[in-house]
Structure 1
Amino acid sequence: MELFYFLVTICLSLAFSGRCSDDYSRNDFPEGFVFGSAVSAFQWEGAVDEDGRMPSVLDTTVHSSNGSSGIIACDGYHKYKEDVRLMYDMGLDAFRLSISWSRLIPSGRGPVNPKGLLFYKNLIQELKRHGIEPHVTLYHDDLPQALEDEYGGWKDRKIIKDFTAYADVCFREFGNTVKFWSTINEPNMLALVNYGVGFLSQTNCTPPFEMVNCTKGNTSTEPYIVLHNMLLAHASTARLYKQNYKHKQNGSVGITFFAFWMVPFTTSEEDEIATQRAKDFLLGWVLHPLVFGDYPNVMRRIVGKRLPCFSEEESYLVKDSSDFLGVIHYTTTYTTADLSSPSQRDFLSDMAASMIPIGNSTLFTIDVLPWGLEGVLEYIKQNYGNPPVYILENGRPTNHHSPLNDVERIEYLHAYIAAVLNSVRNGSETKGYFQWSFMDLFEFINSNYTYGLYYVNFSDPERKRSPKTSALWYSCFLNGTTTCSQDLKNISLSSSPGLSSS
């Protein structure tokens, strides 16, 4: 309560020129709507070689690509109690975390690691003790290296059985406490980036499409095969939960997908058609099978035999297999037709559309375009039956070495949370919003850009956390104290009794 009254005082006394929350407050959201934040196991936990954990493909890739690794990361494995306390002080309803498959089952299948099991039980219980609902992602890009070495991981249908067995352990051990499960993190982006251009794990790709020196793979087919196996693994896992656990645990199982919003670059018919085709390839690739039991017709027509087929039984299994959809959204792009005809086909040439940044947006500098998130949610509502949706990642990167006064992140969060509210008011069944990320994480794509509400000093062996201005803004919003017309730019974070440094 001390933090609450402190926030009430500052929120009522200061003038905010940047529109913190002058047009809405948390109280405008429906009862039961949840607000949270998120991390992933590999980027937060560290302790990669402790207590029986074995390597994942991310360990292998990051170590081989730049000589560094997430050996310590944020050291969440040892500092989780401190971090949960910071979440509690901020006022989070929920926290999205992922489980490291190779920490829980080091070889990918077989014996459970008791120390890994204990860590996740302790973490989940710590969250529950503080009134924070855990939303657990089973797979956040960190496949056990042992399965990649044995049969190629997601490229082989053997993964379906192994993933379902891993999920069974999680449901059995944590399901009495965890009520929200996401099976696989953004399978569309994982399949495209990792197996189309070889950007991350294992450099699976073939010339001329590669961004790195590829060592294996087939860019023309493997993205489609990998996503197909991910959908089947998700559906198998969802069926397992419904048959063996749902009646006694009463939880929900969903899947996430990465959602660019796309608008035509020009008013030409070609760009209009290309934009819809891109939506079918990037969004419908995941959503169509979940709702209709098969891929979009345009994909079937263009990709042909390279696109795997669902058997009648598999189609039935995949259709309606998600209790909710997890949306991961950061930005919006223009789309224009690309009708070139390369001799070798890959996902992007099949899509025959190019995406062009809007404004000053790049991979690491994202313009504030909240109408794009509204577009995604409206598209789901209009085309896929308006299922329950959780925004499981949304945030803005800033330079890790920039000042803690991250007003640009506040501007982004304020605008995108408003967009979610607009969508809810327009009938979207969006049930929650999770900011990415709670703290600066180990970023293996570009360590200079981080998303955290808390700064983490990676040069400090103790990995000290320091709150940014955005942490105070989000806490102020979460505590329901803002219909803000206040200036948070000049607030001293060190004066807050709740949002302290650890």
Structure 2
Amino acid sequence: MAPSAPPPLLLLPLLLGRPLLGAPGQGSGTWSRFSRLPYPQDQLFLHDTFPDGFLWGAGSSAYQTEGGWRQGGKGASVWDTFAHHPVTPPGSPATGPTGGDVASDSYNNLFRDAEGLRLLGVSHYRFSLSWSRLLPNGTEPLNPAGLDHYRRLLGRLRELGIEPVVTLYHWDLPQGLQDAFGGWASPILPQLFRDYAELCFRHFGGQVRYWVTMDNPYVVAWHGYGTGRLPPGVQGGPRLGYRAAHHLLQAHAKVWHLYNDHFRPTQKGKVSIALSSHWIKPQRMTEKNIKECQKSLDFVLGWFAKPIFIDGDYPESMRSNLSSLLPEFSEVEKKYIKGTADFFALSFGATLSFQLLDSHMKFQQLESISLRQLLYWISREYNNPQIFIVENSWFVSGSTKRDDAKYIYYLKKFIMETLKAIRYDGVNVFGYTVWSLLDGFEWHRGYSIRRGLFYVDFQSHDKKLVPKSSVLFYQKLIEKNGFPPLPENQPIEGIFPCGFAWGIVDNYIQVDTTPAQFLDSNVYVWDVHQTKKLIKVDGVFTSKRKRHCVDFAAIRLQISLLQEMHITHFHFSLKWSLILPLGNLSLINHTLVHYYQCFASELLRVNITPVVALWQPMAENQELPASLAKYGAWENPETIQAFVDYAKFCFTSLGDRIKFWITMNEPPVKNLTYTAGHNLLKAHAKVWHLYDKEFRRSQKGKISIALQADWVEPACPFSRNDQEVADRILEFDVGWLAEPIFGNGDYPQMMRAWLRRRNSADLYNFHLPYFSEDEKKLIQGSSDFFALSHYTTTLVGWEKEDALKYDHYLEAQMINDITWLHSPSRAAVVPWGLRKLLKWVKSKYGNVPVYVMANGIDDDQNMVHDKLRVYYIQNYINEALK
């Protein structure tokens, strides 16, 4: 008998990992392919390592970091001229440096930068040569000081065992060439660029294995000669922009052939061009929108990539849309340009890929930061080339100094997506370069953002490099060659203890108190022929019978659904505002009370234990009776006694059926004043003691308060400051109400110390009340178990990055790890957060019994199968088992 075929799911990773050959236009299948990948599995973080020999590096460019613009005989570049133009109206106050005159001063700190590279442990360093430092006028004579500078840099890299990746031209064209010939608008520039490259190959080629002719010609052509946004600032419109690009492509091809014919045999290096791209996704998955996405990539990346990697000519979509605006290559030129790259050098990041992308080149589609999909598209569109990511990262605010958490999580996402492209998609990526080694001048953004791994104080004299948290992140990543699987990331197999409670929560059960027909004494006739309605027969009555729980049809349906789940417990909340509409016992909704009695009885009948909360703050009035909400709610001390009276009524009416009580379910600490929280704690304690003294002996139940307790993690795991913020948030979010009950009867000392500090600085005037000694004794220990609700995990840091997500009161910046799964409402799915929370509760409050009263996530309402919720439940339960 033939062996059975293995399950298709087991074959999927192998099929996805095979190298796939492509051809022009085949990249258009990328969008549909990724839309069909299994969800959420395909979006999970990949714990794996990169192939052996993978290149890890960092990069910088001359104008952004070197400074020394008038040192050592350097000539002016177009960026020097552009930056020296006034950027503020005359008479405006100075705001610091606005150009690259000094920048990070790498020209005078060569060994400083090399030490940073050594600390990182990188295998390669990408930097650019300053054309105007080597050839001040753009042509001969050679500047000896410039030559010596780069020889010393290459020598130091060789001593450290770091491979140089050298860019000949990174936007800083000598001003002399712009003045004499009009820069890249002139057809003479390709030959002058070849002459410059020959000089570099001759003097440096023995020490360089990877050459990049030029960086991002799209920006140079389009914004340098088309829009004029960047140097040389020529507003020549599209026609001149396309002409400049034409010359840039010719220049690149000349340099590649020069190296191939005269230097490759002896130097054995490789030459390419660094092309930058965005990624784009369709607004809706239609054939028309996918074609527009393909066109968007053609007009930016394909503009240069297709001539070089395919056939020497521009994309068909450009030629058909631009007509005479786009220059033409002769057949000889096409053959000359085709194949002039030994690898695909890719740049992908905020500044180049998105901020400098003209909106009309999106063709009404949506930008996306999916590096993985771009890598796959390149592999399909350009015959699966070897790809070297020569620039990638994001940015942080110019004010960020040490803990650049936002930068770390973007880096983590991009590197993980690169790993997925290699392991899942068969894309041939052999190296990665983070941008940049150190803070510098960020082109059109100036010094308003930072992209360096090392912090530089631009106002200081010595320009010391200060490692940011991202240095430690990248250093450890290089050391491990990726994200190797760790034991704590692996699911475990096992069983929960005997008697473990498995339950479901429904904050408010669907109460339907419509009386059954047998409780109505009237007699009706069905008007079957005309109105189809029941018509009451006047004066005719039947005898009533007693009410039964089965009269509530809604109960039977809910109980049957719960039975199918095989749960042991069901948690729901009572509606205080409906049971006692006036907030006291003068008016009682007996029908609703009977409904709750019946519901609890039916649960017990099918062996499901009811877990009942007395109060669940949901609506705008916090589900308090109107009379209490109107007069201050929990701010009013009288609400304490009203709650005690309400609780006593519930214990009396329902207590024989209820063995687990929750006084208050998820009090809204984010919206409570300190006075309200003070009264709420006293109300809880009074109710606990009421049950303990008057009802526990006969009813034999347990009672507690349920706190919402989401985990808070320091955004930078290496930062003590971030850890302090996380500890502070946990104390304010959970400890505020937990410490008095499960601790010493008083608020956390951290809260009091923090509020004293904030108030003493005249920033706030928040008063955290004090308990009397008797009140402390009343509150301390007023719980039979620790009940908590847990839904997600939040990252926090101390460095202010995004004002919209910054808590000024607690001095906490909320950060998002974009590698995490997120629900439609953007709630993060972080299973290990539950385990960390449970350990935190144990460490602070001892080995108290813990009930996770609520845990779950929203899912796409349009999906038939709630796949995200299934993943969420499985993995959070597994973390609880750990």
Q: What TM-score does the superposition give when structure 1 sets the normalisation length?
A: 0.82
Residue 353, structure 1, aligned to residue 363, structure 2: yes
Deviates more, 1:178-187 or 1:68-77: 68-77
The 1:283–1:492 alpha-carbon spacing in structure 2 relative to 1, beyond 3 Å, is closer
> Which residue pairs with 2:768 in the alignment?
none
Code of the residue aligned with 1:39 in structure 2: it is S
> Which residue pairs with 1:12 in the alignment?
none
Residue 94, structure 1, aligned to residue 92, structure 2: no
Instruction: List per-residue Cα deviations over 1:214-246 (Å, max 9, x = no partner).
Output: xxx2x1311111111111100000000011100
Instruction: List per-residue Cα deviations over 1:168-224 (Å, max 9, x = no partner).
Output: 00000000000100001011222122222211112211xxxxxxxxxxx2x131111
> Which residue pairs with 2:469 in the alignment?
469
Could you tell me which of 195, 201, 224 is aligned with 2:242? 224
| Aligned mates of 1:266, 1:322 — CA distance in 2 | 35
Code of the residue aligned with 2:336 in structure 1: it is L
Could you tell me which of 276, 287, 306 is aligned with 1:258? 276
The 1:490–1:351 alpha-carbon spacing in structure 2 relative to 1, beyond 3 Å, is closer
Residue ranges of structure 2 left out of the alignment (5+ in a row): 1-43, 89-97, 489-712, 722-882
The 1:378–1:112 alpha-carbon spacing in structure 2 relative to 1, beyond 3 Å, is same
CA contact (8 A) 1:264 1:334 kept: no
Q: How far did residue 403 of structure 1 move?
A: 4.4
Could you tell me which of 327, 341, 345 is aligned with 1:322? 341
Residue 296, structure 1, aligned to residue 326, structure 2: no
* Aligned partner of residue 394 in structure 1, secondary structure: strand
Could you tell me which of 174, 177, 189 is aligned with 2:219? 189
CA contact (8 A) 1:41 1:99 kept: yes
Code of the residue aligned with 1:320 in structure 2: it is G
CA contact (8 A) 1:440 1:450 kept: yes
Q: How far did residue 23 of structure 1 move?
A: 4.3
> Which residue pairs with 1:60 in the alignment?
81
> Which residue pairs with 1:79 in the alignment?
109
Instruction: List per-residue Cα deviations over 1:28-72 (Å, max 9, x = no partner).
Output: 211221010110000111000011101000000011142743121
> Which residue pairs with 1:455 in the alignment?
455
CA contact (8 A) 1:396 1:412 kept: yes
Residue ranges of structure 1 left out of the alignment (5+ in a row): 1-20, 206-216, 336-346, 359-368, 495-502
The 1:57–1:493 alpha-carbon spacing in structure 2 relative to 1, beyond 3 Å, is farther
Code of the residue aligned with 2:318 in structure 1: it is M
- The residue correspondences of 1:148-297 to structure 2 (distance < 5 A) are 148-205=178-235, 217=236, 219-290=237-308, 291-297=310-316
Q: How far did residue 409 of structure 1 move?
A: 1.5
Q: How far did residue 266 of structure 1 move?
A: 2.5
Q: How far did residue 273 of structure 1 move?
A: 2.5
CA contact (8 A) 1:334 1:356 kept: no
> Which residue pairs with 2:163 in the alignment?
133
CA contact (8 A) 1:469 1:488 kept: no
The 1:316–1:357 alpha-carbon spacing in structure 2 relative to 1, beyond 3 Å, is closer
* Aligned partner of residue 154 in structure 2, secondary structure: helix
> Which residue pairs with 1:306 in the alignment?
325
Code of the residue aligned with 1:422 in structure 2: it is K
Instruction: List per-residue Cα deviations over 1:96-155 (Å, max 9, x = no partner).
Output: 000000000111011110110000010011111101100000000000000000011100
* Aligned partner of residue 480 in structure 2, secondary structure: coil
| Aligned mates of 2:477, 2:221 — CA distance in 1 | 36
* Aligned partner of residue 244 in structure 1, secondary structure: helix
> Which residue pairs with 1:421 in the alignment?
419
> Which residue pairs with 2:436 in the alignment?
437
Instruction: List per-residue Cα deviations over 1:433-491 (Å, max 9, x = no partner).
Output: 00011111122422110111111000101112211111111111112286477978353
> Which residue pairs with 1:373 in the alignment?
371
Could you tell me which of 34, 39, 49 is aligned with 2:55? 34
CA contact (8 A) 1:262 1:332 kept: no
CA contact (8 A) 1:62 1:444 kept: no
* Aligned partner of residue 143 in structure 1, secondary structure: coil
> Which residue pairs with 2:47 in the alignment?
24
CA contact (8 A) 2:292 2:363 kept: yes
The 1:235–1:465 alpha-carbon spacing in structure 2 relative to 1, beyond 3 Å, is same
| Aligned mates of 1:285, 1:193 — CA distance in 2 | 15
> Which residue pairs with 2:863 in the alignment?
none
Q: Which has the larger radius of gyration?
A: 2
Code of the residue aligned with 1:440 in structure 2: it is D
| Aligned mates of 2:106, 2:459 — CA distance in 1 | 15
CA contact (8 A) 2:289 2:365 kept: no
Could you tell me which of 718, 721, 730 is aligned with 1:491? 718
Code of the residue aligned with 2:457 in structure 1: it is N
Code of the residue aligned with 2:47 in structure 1: it is Y
Deviates more, 1:115-124 or 1:460-469: 460-469
| Aligned mates of 1:282, 1:184 — CA distance in 2 | 16
| Aligned mates of 2:86, 2:239 — CA distance in 1 | 25
Code of the residue aligned with 2:376 in structure 1: it is E
The 1:85–1:115 alpha-carbon spacing in structure 2 relative to 1, beyond 3 Å, is same
CA contact (8 A) 2:403 2:716 kept: yes
Q: How far did residue 331 of structure 1 move?
A: 5.6
How many residues are paired up?
437
CA contact (8 A) 1:389 1:432 kept: yes
Identity of aligned residues (%): 35
* Aligned partner of residue 137 in structure 2, secondary structure: coil
CA contact (8 A) 1:109 1:162 kept: yes
Q: How far did residue 301 of structure 1 move?
A: 1.4
Q: How far did residue 493 of structure 1 move?
A: 8.9
CA contact (8 A) 1:135 1:179 kept: yes
Could you tell me which of 397, 402, 405 is aligned with 1:404? 402
* Aligned partner of residue 203 in structure 1, secondary structure: coil
> Which residue pairs with 1:480 in the alignment?
480
CA contact (8 A) 2:387 2:431 kept: yes
| Aligned mates of 1:111, 1:334 — CA distance in 2 | 36
> Which residue pairs with 1:123 in the alignment?
153
The 1:348–1:134 alpha-carbon spacing in structure 2 relative to 1, beyond 3 Å, is closer
Residue 50, structure 1, aligned to residue 48, structure 2: no
Q: How far did residue 349 of structure 1 move?
A: 9.4
The 1:159–1:467 alpha-carbon spacing in structure 2 relative to 1, beyond 3 Å, is same
The 1:87–1:333 alpha-carbon spacing in structure 2 relative to 1, beyond 3 Å, is closer
Greater relative contact order (Cα < 8 A, sep 6+): 1
The 1:487–1:128 alpha-carbon spacing in structure 2 relative to 1, beyond 3 Å, is farther
The 1:39–1:355 alpha-carbon spacing in structure 2 relative to 1, beyond 3 Å, is farther
CA contact (8 A) 1:324 1:387 kept: yes
CA contact (8 A) 2:213 2:272 kept: yes
Code of the residue aligned with 1:491 in structure 2: it is F
* Aligned partner of residue 245 in structure 1, secondary structure: helix
Deviates more, 1:188-197 or 1:462-471: 188-197
Instruction: List per-residue Cα deviations over 1:380-433 (Å, max 9, x = no partner).
Output: 111111111111111111012124111221111111111111111222111100
Could you say what the CA RMSD is over the residues aligned between the two structures, in angstroms? 2.5
CA contact (8 A) 1:333 1:357 kept: no
* Aligned partner of residue 37 in structure 1, secondary structure: strand
The 1:243–1:421 alpha-carbon spacing in structure 2 relative to 1, beyond 3 Å, is same
Instruction: List per-residue Cα deviations over 1:266-300 (Å, max 9, x = no partner).
Output: 33444332212112111211111012111111211
CA contact (8 A) 2:124 2:162 kept: yes
